[in-house]
């Protein structure tokens, strides 16, 4: 009779728990109930051979009481108490055989409490325990499923990737096989085994939610292995599947940008320009596409005027906080090609004016910075960046220039870790809001330890990544200054040559013919003419047109 009751209570409570979590979490309550669908006597019976009937009954009864009590607390939404009890059971030798089940439920409790990082460690523990023991029970699959969910929620797939590297595909929950292939493909990408990675990505089913991501990564993998045709096919497929999701759908835009890059890689300049032009203006990728498009225009040797039009947008005040030394040099290079030496001089001076102080600050910093300084700078830069997002004044003074800090904190690996760190901060705050009893219990201490260790380790990773980025920027700047010097030399030679021709009466004959004529413009129907007078308007970005012409043959 008692067993019947324990089964009925959770079913009664199931609906309310499920509703509470249906929006973002997997249906944890159902899972909790499923655990109760496995009456403990089954486990207890397996032990009966080793003990006397009386001992067995006593042990079973104690065991049923504690585990069932923990489950009952779980279903009653008393997650704190349940997690405390479950954690103590994981330490008990009596429950060694049920360890996976107990830990799995403990993970569910922690998820319900919003402690995702701690929960992911518990699930990871279940998985490694199962792998160690050579068993593949349902808890392995279920824990993998939960770990996948938590990896996405935390934007940190360290544990999942590590796990994936240790298990076989058959161990992964069948409904999450695609996710397995996707993560495995990522792993191979990281190992620079691109062909293998592309093959693994191709196994992801077209109906899967990760299919667009897998197509994108597959295209990248092919692109890295210099198989442009296959890369284009993958990106084109991504374009097709994303077409209905809207013009600015990030998968669609990424597909277009990637196709442009593949064409660029293969020196198909016109095709590359065609795809770059399709990037919608109201997407984050547009700025990069404009810069890359300008490169393609320069490389094609035919669209100098169009490239200069792009530069006016790229070098507008809207992008003054962007680290973009290359685009300034590129602009100078285009002016050199069309013999606009005065303009070139201005651009190179601007380059010096912006990047010489940046370079010296960078050098000063790297000469004296300790490993902790890198992290401090990044955290200050991030605080300032977030303040600027909220239209507030900068909160900290930094030793590194703002545009360098913005560049570094915008790098995907740093950004991802900073987001992860924020999630950990939030989780620690949630822990501190729980009862003192929970905080001082075994699970409380464990949770704090886990979060604390993850924070320390992530901080250390961010510091190292920042140092690497700074080294890269330093080395890049050194190259750019060399190129700038080279351009200055070319500019002087060009000026000299131009003067020589002028004195000889060559090359400037047209001056006398057209001196008094003004330039006329063809303006299509439906367009208005607005001369540029020094201020930048948001709705004008991307609509600037350079109307100077080549000054030399």
Partner 1 sequence: MKIVFLVLCSLLMSAQALAVTIEFPEEELARESVLPVFENATAVKSRLVPTAKRFELGIGGGFAMNEPFFETARFGGHVAYHFNETHGILLNGQLYADGLGNNGKSLANTDLLPNSADTTYLRMEFAPQPAYHFFANYQITPYYGKISVFKDFVMNLSLYGLLGLGVVDIGGETTPALNIGMGQKFYFSKKWGIRADMGLMAYEGVNFFKASNGGSSPLADSTVAGSTPFVASQKTASEFERQINYDLHLSLAVIILL
CA distance 479 to 481: 5
- Closest CB to partner 1 among residues 29, 306: 306
CA distance 324 to 16: 54
Cβ at position 510, least distance to partner 1 in Å: 6
Residue 49 engages partner 1 in binding (rule: CB under 8 A) = no
Residue linked to tokens 């320390």 = 456
Cβ at position 272, least distance to partner 1 in Å: 14
Residue 525 engages partner 1 in binding (rule: CB under 8 A) = no
CA distance 150 to 117: 8
How far is the CA of 237 from the CAs of 134, 230, 244, in angstroms? 40, 11, 13
CA distance 66 to 192: 49
Cα-trace Rg, the chain: 31
Q: Residues 42, 389, 412, 436: which binds partner 1 (CB under 8 A)?
A: 389
Choices 32-40, 123-131, 374-382, 531-539; region in contact with partner 1 by CB under 8 A: 531-539
Three-state secondary structure string covering 427-453? HHHHHHHCCHHHHHCHHHHHHHHHHHH
Cβ 81 vs Cβ 444: under 8 Å? no
Q: Residues 23, 391, 397, 433: which binds partner 1 (CB under 8 A)?
A: 391
Binding characters for partner 1, 252-281, by CB under 8 A (x = yes) = -------------------------x--xx
- Closest CB to partner 1 among residues 489, 537: 537
Cβ at position 395, least distance to partner 1 in Å: 16
Choices 35-43, 376-384, 489-497, 517-525; region in contact with partner 1 by CB under 8 A: 517-525
- Closest CB to partner 1 among residues 53, 510: 510
Which one, of 75, 73, 76, 111, lies nearest residue 89 by Cα?
A: 73
Residue 521 engages partner 1 in binding (rule: CB under 8 A) = yes
Tell me how many residues contact partner 1 (CB under 8 A): 63
Cβ at position 286, least distance to partner 1 in Å: 6
Residue 282 engages partner 1 in binding (rule: CB under 8 A) = yes
Both tokens of residue 288? 């990069």
Cβ at position 548, least distance to partner 1 in Å: 4
Binding characters for partner 1, 299-318, by CB under 8 A (x = yes) = ------xx--x--x---xxx
Residue 544 engages partner 1 in binding (rule: CB under 8 A) = yes
Cβ at position 301, least distance to partner 1 in Å: 16
Q: Sign of the CA dihedral 225, 229, 232, 238?
A: negative
Residue linked to tokens 């063809």 = 522
Any alpha helices (H) in 369-505, and if so which ranges? 371-389, 402-409, 412-433, 436-440, 442-504
- Closest CB to partner 1 among residues 173, 410: 410
Q: Residues 93, 368, 503, 529: which binds partner 1 (CB under 8 A)?
A: 529
Q: Residues 354, 388, 455, 461: which binds partner 1 (CB under 8 A)?
A: 388
Residue 12 engages partner 1 in binding (rule: CB under 8 A) = no
Stretch 460-499 residues interacting with partner 1 (CB under 8 A): 498
Residue 204 engages partner 1 in binding (rule: CB under 8 A) = no
Residue 500 engages partner 1 in binding (rule: CB under 8 A) = no
CA distance 345 to 506: 23
Both tokens of residue 307? 């490239």
- Closest CB to partner 1 among residues 289, 484: 289
- Closest CB to partner 1 among residues 163, 309: 309
Cβ at position 505, least distance to partner 1 in Å: 13
CA distance 240 to 234: 10
Cβ at position 311, least distance to partner 1 in Å: 10
User: What 3-state class would DSSP assign to 386?
Assistant: helix
Give φ, ψ of 110 to 5 degrees.
Answer: -65, -35
User: What 3-state class would DSSP assign to 147?
Assistant: helix
- Closest CB to partner 1 among residues 95, 304: 304
What single DSSP character describes residue 519? P
Residue 551 engages partner 1 in binding (rule: CB under 8 A) = yes
Cβ at position 389, least distance to partner 1 in Å: 5
Cβ at position 513, least distance to partner 1 in Å: 8
CB under 8 Å to 93, separation ≥6 — which residues? none
Q: Residues 85, 111, 339, 477: which binds partner 1 (CB under 8 A)?
A: 339
Cβ at position 282, least distance to partner 1 in Å: 4
CA distance 180 to 127: 14
Residue 331 engages partner 1 in binding (rule: CB under 8 A) = no
Three-state secondary structure string covering 196-217? HHHHHHHCCCCCCCCHHHHHHH
CB under 8 Å to 29, separation ≥6 — which residues? 13, 14, 17, 18, 20, 21, 75
- Closest CB to partner 1 among residues 452, 502: 502
Cβ 63 vs Cβ 95: under 8 Å? yes
Residue 283 engages partner 1 in binding (rule: CB under 8 A) = yes
Cβ at position 500, least distance to partner 1 in Å: 14
- Closest CB to partner 1 among residues 426, 548: 548
Q: For 369-404, b where at least 16 C-beta lie within 10 A, e where not — what string?
A: beeebbbbbbbbbbebbeeeeeeeeeeeebebbbbb
Choices 131-139, 191-199, 426-434, 523-531; region in contact with partner 1 by CB under 8 A: 523-531
- Interface residues with partner 1 (CB under 8 A) are 277, 280-284, 286-287, 305-306, 309, 312, 316-318, 339-340, 342-343, 388-389, 391, 498, 507-508, 510-511, 514-515, 517-524, 526-549, 551-552
């Amino acid at each position: 009779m008692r067993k019947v009751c324990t089964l009925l209570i959770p079913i009664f409570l199931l609906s309310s728990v499920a509703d509470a979590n249906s929006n973002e979490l997997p249906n944890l309550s159902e899972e909790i109930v499923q655990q109760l669908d496995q009456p403990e006597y089954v486990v207890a019976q397996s032990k009966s051979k080793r003990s006397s009937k009386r001992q067995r009954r006593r042990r079973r009864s104690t065991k049923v009481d504690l585990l069932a009590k923990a489950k009952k607390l779980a279903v009653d939404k008393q997650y704190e108490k349940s997690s405390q009890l479950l954690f103590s059971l994981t330490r008990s030798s009596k429950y060694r055989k049920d360890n996976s089940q107990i830990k799995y439920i403990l993970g569910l409790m922690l998820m319900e409490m919003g402690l995702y990082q701690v929960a992911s460690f518990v699930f990871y523990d279940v998985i490694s325990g199962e792998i160690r023991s050579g068993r593949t029970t349902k808890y392995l699959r279920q824990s993998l499923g939960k770990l996948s969910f938590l990896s996405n929620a935390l934007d940190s797939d360290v544990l999942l990737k590590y796990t994936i590297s240790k298990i076989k595909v058959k161990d992964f929950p069948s409904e999450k096989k695609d996710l397995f292939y996707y993560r495995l493909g990522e792993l191979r990408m990281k190992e620079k085994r691109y062909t293998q990675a592309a093959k693994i990505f191709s196994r992801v089913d077209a109906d899967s939610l990760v299919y667009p991501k897998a197509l994108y990564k597959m295209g990248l993998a092919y692109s890295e292995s210099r198989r442009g045709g296959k890369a284009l096919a993958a990106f084109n497929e991504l374009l097709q599947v994303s077409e209905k999701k809207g013009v600015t759908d990030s998968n669609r835009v990424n597909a277009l940008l990637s196709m442009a890059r593949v064409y660029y890689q293969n020196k198909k300049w016109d095709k590359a320009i065609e795809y770059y032009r399709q990037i919608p203006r109201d997407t984050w990728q547009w700025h990069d596409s404009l810069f890359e498009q300008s490169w393609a225009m320069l490389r094609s040797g035919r669209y100098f005027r169009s490239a200069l039009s792009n530069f006016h947008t790229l070098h507008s005040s809207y992008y003054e906080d962007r680290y973009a030394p290359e685009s300034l040099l590129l602009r100078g290079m285009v002016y050199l090609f069309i013999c606009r030496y005065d303009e070139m001089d201005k651009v190179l001076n601007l380059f010096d004016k912006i990047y010489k102080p940046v370079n010296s600050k960078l050098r000063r910093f790297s000469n004296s910075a300790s490993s902790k300084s890198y992290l401090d700078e990044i955290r200050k830069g991030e605080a300032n960046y977030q303040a600027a997002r909220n239209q507030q004044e900068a909160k900290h003074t930094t030793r590194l220039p703002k545009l360098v800090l913005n560049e570094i904190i915008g790098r995907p690996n740093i950004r991802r870790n900073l987001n992860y760190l924020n999630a950990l901060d939030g989780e620690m705050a949630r822990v501190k809001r729980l009862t003192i009893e929970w905080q001082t219990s075994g699970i409380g201490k464990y949770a704090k330890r886990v979060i604390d260790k993850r924070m320390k380790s992530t901080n250390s990773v961010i510091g190292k990544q920042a140092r690497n980025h700074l080294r890269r920027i330093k080395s890049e700047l050194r190259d750019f200054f060399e190129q700038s010097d080279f351009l200055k030399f070319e500019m002087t030679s060009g000026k000299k040559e131009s003067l020589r021709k002028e004195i000889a009466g060559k090359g400037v004959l047209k001056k006398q013919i057209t001196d008094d004529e003004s330039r006329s413009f063809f303006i299509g129907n439906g367009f208005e003419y607005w001369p540029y007078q020094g201020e930048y308007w948001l709705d004008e970005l991307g609509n600037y047109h350079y109307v100077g012409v080549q000054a030399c043959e």
